[in-house]
Amino acid sequence: MKDLSNTKTLRPDKIWSRDFVLICLANFFIFLGFQMTLPTLPLFVKELGGSDQMIGVIVGSFTFTALIFRPYAGHALETKGRRFVYMLGIGIFVISLGSFAFITTMTLLILMRMTQGIGFGLASTATGTIATDLIPPSRRGEGMGYFGLSGNIALALGPTLGLALVGNISFKSLFLICAATGVAAFFLASLVRYKKVEQSPNKAATLKFDIFEKTAIQPALLLFFITFTFGGIASFLPLYAAEKGVPGIEGYFLVYALFLMISRLFAGKIYDQKGHVAVFLPGTVLIFGAMLLLSWLPSTSIMLIAAAIYGLGFGSVQPALQAWAVDQAPSNRKGMANATFFSFFDLGVGLGAIIFGQIAFMFDYSVIYLTAAGSVIISMVIYIFLLVKARQRSSMSDV
């Protein structure tokens, strides 16, 4: 007769703990403030007299600064602890975002945007690692999908709320409201019980400062070519839609976020059961299609269709690649794996914004999205190459 005394151990590991809920809420509020500035900052730059090229520089300065500080964040997560890095990052982010309310020159805006990048680089690297600590390894893909929902809900509300507010209040008031959401994130983060630093048995390796986790390079490289597309959307889609006389840009961000959330409900489970093979190529095909539709952009309906398929594609690919990056890393290198992953995220967005700024200046906004579609094709080719090489190595080891 089967022993039923240990049936509890047969149930899936629990994802929704007290600390997981708190970190999701903190992540929501910091991303809400960030997303409210996503479509409004280019408008603020225009008000200050900036050009399309300057918009690209300001977006790029943020992401490149975040990129530079992510290796430090990854190292500090394993040496100084999760709480120190996360709280420091949120604090810097809030102060810099609030300072936007008092900026009147482009030079100062670039400087504080770079400072904001430091805070965001520290906080976003830390929060992904903290979530990884709290999610059972057997359900990491699913758990990271749920964690991603907190940022996705902020994405659903933030751009729409930001654009609605900026039509009725000053930029100063908008930026102070955004900073207030960061204060809420700081309070919630202070309540989380963080994992203690896990010391490596090799003290020399712990003290050594490196800039990436080699096991995370492959998924991070694929992510780079995907997030390259995001630089064009975040920086120029509101201006592109206005130029073509296509109304409803607020709806784009809302639909994108809603379908991003829908993808989180199933893509993570597919990754846990079948691996990245079942998620990556279908997701990138959707992203490619979205870029082609945006390059065309004849109407609001096409823009919303592009938003839906981009949300499904990006929402499937990003958490799968992140789970892949973390799964391969040693237990005392999870923080650095997340740092490597998000460094490539930042690099893609930053280079995309800067390059697309030049394209907008030299050609036309539509060329931005054709170029972005080419970037997606590159990611697919690299993935297929890596997949073939991995299977060749597997077949050789079986001989």
Compute mean pLDDT per 10 residues along the chain, 399 residues long, and list them: 38 81 95 88 86 79 81 86 94 94 90 92 89 86 83 80 88 94 96 77 52 87 92 78 88 86 84 88 96 95 96 90 85 81 83 84 90 96 92 71
Number of Cβ atoms within 10 Å of the Cβ of 168: 8
CATH architecture of structural domain 15-194+211-398:
Up-down Bundle (1.20)
What integer pLDDT is reported at residue 7 of this predicted model? 37
Written in H, E and C, the secondary structure of the chain is CCCCCCHHHHCCCCCCCHHHHHHHHHHHHHHHHHHHHCCCHHHHHHHCCCCHHHHHHHHHHHHHHHHHHHHHHHHHHHHCCHHHHHHHHHHHHHHHHHHHHHCCCHHHHHHHHHHHHHHHHHHHHHHHHHHHHHCCHHHHHHHHHHHHHHHHHHHHHHHHHHHHHHCCCCHHHHHHHHHHHHHHHHHHHCCCCCCCCCCCCCHHHHHCCCCCCHHHHHHHHHHHHHHHHHHHHHHHHHHHHHHHCCCCHHHHHHHHHHHHHHHHCCHHHHHHHHCHHHCHHHHHHHHHHHHHHHHHCCCHHHHHHHHHHHHHHHHHHHHHHHHHHHHHCCHHHHHHHHHHHHHHHHHHHHHHHHHHHHHHHHCCHHHHHHHHHHHHHHHHHHHHHHHHHHHHHHHHHHC
- pTM of the shown model: 0.74
| Contacts (Cβ under 8 Å, ≥6 apart) of 281 | 380, 383, 384
The encoded tokens of residue 396 equal 């050789």
Q: Could you give the CA distance from residue 346 to residue 224 in angstroms, rounded to a whole number?
A: 8
What integer pLDDT is reported at residue 68 of this predicted model? 83
What integer pLDDT is reported at residue 399 of this predicted model? 54
Q: Do 106 and 157 meet the contact criterion of CB atoms below 8 Å apart?
A: no
